[in-house]
């Protein structure tokens, strides 16, 4: 037997389908007596609203598309939690799309906005395809896009992020306060906006401390564990050897430490390592990683709120959340070294 429809419920309750629909959506406009009959009919039949029919009728899916570059990356999951929280409170369903970093996939997922599967999108990464050509403004009926964490500066995109430059400065300042004067930097991938901003923060902190940034101290990475391992090989050839390194994210920092350890260099005794992100494993890692904490859950929640706000015809502004340095055991005072 097929799924019960609103009509089945109506027949059993002895009312019209309009009344059933009203019972479900504006219960207060219907008599308590009929409401009870209808609701019990709903229970009896096990009726569940057909969302396809509803979406078609109300021209809305009550769904938000969340585009993630790599769902396997633990960094994103806590953002998702924040989104999930706010969304489910608002009765919104989340459609998660994992692009695996591939443009083609992202392009495909973009169609979910066009074909009505979703009413808006949350991008957890720098857009690879021109989502922004979509009408992003809040004109009625438009499907807004909010970029989390990696908004391009200068675009008029709605976004939620931290002050990456400032946060990187904070991190490097911590190293400076520990007495380090020779601080290397392991960067993210070349094209990434976060790479640029965190590197800028690194340089600014150095300059403010009266140290001229040395390009040779900036080692190219790609946020991956392996790139951290590779970076150590280049790091150890630096002469003199820096006493600390600021890594653009935690995973690469772990790779770096792992390689350092294999090579007999102790962290933090021989070299202090600072990460960025404060992913879940940062605190379990050996040594527990000093890093920059991003309020990921809040970022997700805030982004979802932005979307709700746009849907409500308001005109929300981009938001910048605070990031904090969390000190653990991968950083220590600089060893004394004769100049």
Partner DNA sequence: TTGTATGCGTTATCAG
Partner DNA sequence: CTGATAACGCATACAA
Residues that bind a second copy (CB under 8 A): 2-3, 46, 48-53, 55-56, 61, 70-74, 77-78, 80-81, 84, 88, 93-98, 100, 105, 108, 111-112, 114-117, 141, 225, 251, 254-255, 257-258, 261, 280-281, 284-286, 288
- Residue span binding DNA (CB under 7 A) among the ranges 18-26, 102-110, 191-199, 314-322: 18-26
The CB-of-133 to DNA minimum distance in angstroms stands at 21
Nearer to DNA, 7 or 177 (CB): 7
Distance of alpha carbon 175 from alpha carbon 160, whole angstroms: 28
Decide if 146 contacts 158 (C-beta within 8 A). yes
- Six token digits for residue 157: 């995109």
Cβ neighbors of 88 (< 8 A, separation 6 or more) are: 94
The CB-of-121 to a second copy minimum distance in angstroms stands at 14
DSSP H/E element including 44: helix 32-45
Cβ neighbors of 313 (< 8 A, separation 6 or more) are: 138, 140
Nearer to a second copy, 37 or 117 (CB): 117
Residue 30 contact, options DNA, a second copy, none, Cβ 5-8 Å cut-off depending on partner type:
DNA
H-assigned helices in 119-209: 164-177, 193-208
The CB-of-9 to DNA minimum distance in angstroms stands at 8
Nearer to a second copy, 63 or 243 (CB): 63
Q: Is 57 in the site for DNA (CB under 7 A)?
A: yes
Distance of alpha carbon 305 from alpha carbon 90, whole angstroms: 9
Q: Is 134 in the site for DNA (CB under 7 A)?
A: no
Q: Is 152 in the site for DNA (CB under 7 A)?
A: no
Q: String of b and e for 111-125 (b: at least 16 CB within 10 Å)?
A: ebbeeeebbbbbbbb
DSSP H/E element including 65: strand 63-68
Nearer to DNA, 54 or 182 (CB): 54
The CB-of-94 to DNA minimum distance in angstroms stands at 20
Residue selected from 46, 49, 135, 327 as contacting DNA according to rule CB under 7 A: 49
Residue 257 contact, options a second copy, DNA, none, Cβ 5-8 Å cut-off depending on partner type:
a second copy
Handedness of CA 171, 174, 178, 183 (dihedral sign): positive
Nearer to a second copy, 141 or 210 (CB): 141
């Amino acid at each position: 037997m097929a799924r019960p429809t609103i009509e089945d419920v109506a027949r059993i309750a002895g009312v019209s389908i309009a009344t059933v629909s009203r019972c479900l959506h504006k219960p207060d406009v219907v008599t308590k007596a009929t409401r009870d009959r209808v609701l019990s009919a709903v229970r009896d039949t096990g009726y569940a609203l057909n969302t396809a029919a509803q979406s078609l009728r109300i021209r809305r899916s009550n769904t938000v598309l969340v585009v993630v570059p790599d769902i396997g990356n633990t960094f994103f999951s806590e953002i998702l939690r924040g989104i999930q929280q706010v969304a489910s409170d608002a009765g919104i369903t989340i459609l998660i799309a994992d692009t695996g970093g591939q443009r083609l996939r992202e392009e495909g997922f973009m169609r979910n906005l066009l074909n009505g599967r979703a009413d808006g999108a949350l991008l957890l990464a720098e857009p690879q395809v021109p989502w922004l050509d979509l009408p992003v403004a809040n004109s009625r009926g438009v499907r807004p896009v909010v970029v989390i964490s990696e908004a391009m500066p200068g675009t008029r995109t709605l976004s939620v992020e931290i002050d990456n430059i400032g946060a990187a400065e904070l991190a490097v300042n911590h190293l400076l306060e520990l007495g380090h004067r020779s601080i290397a930097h392991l960067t993210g991938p070349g094209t990434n906006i976060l790479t640029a901003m965190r590197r800028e923060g690194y340089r600014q902190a150095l300059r403010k401390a009266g140290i001229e940034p040395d390009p040779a101290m900036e080692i190219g990475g790609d946020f991956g564990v392996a790139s951290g391992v590779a970076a150590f090989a280049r790091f150890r050839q630096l002469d003199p050897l820096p006493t600390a390194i600021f890594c653009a994210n935690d995973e690469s920092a772990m790779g770096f430490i792992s390689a350092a350890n294999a090579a007999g260099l102790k962290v933090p005794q021989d070299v202090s390592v600072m990460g960025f992100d404060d992913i879940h494993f940062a605190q379990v890692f050996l040594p527990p990683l000093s890093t920059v904490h991003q309020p990921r859950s809040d970022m997700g929640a805030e982004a979802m709120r932005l979307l709700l706000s746009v849907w409500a015809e308001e005109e929300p502004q981009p938001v910048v959340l605070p990031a904090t340095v969390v000190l653990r055991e991968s950083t220590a005072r600089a060893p004394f070294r004769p100049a």
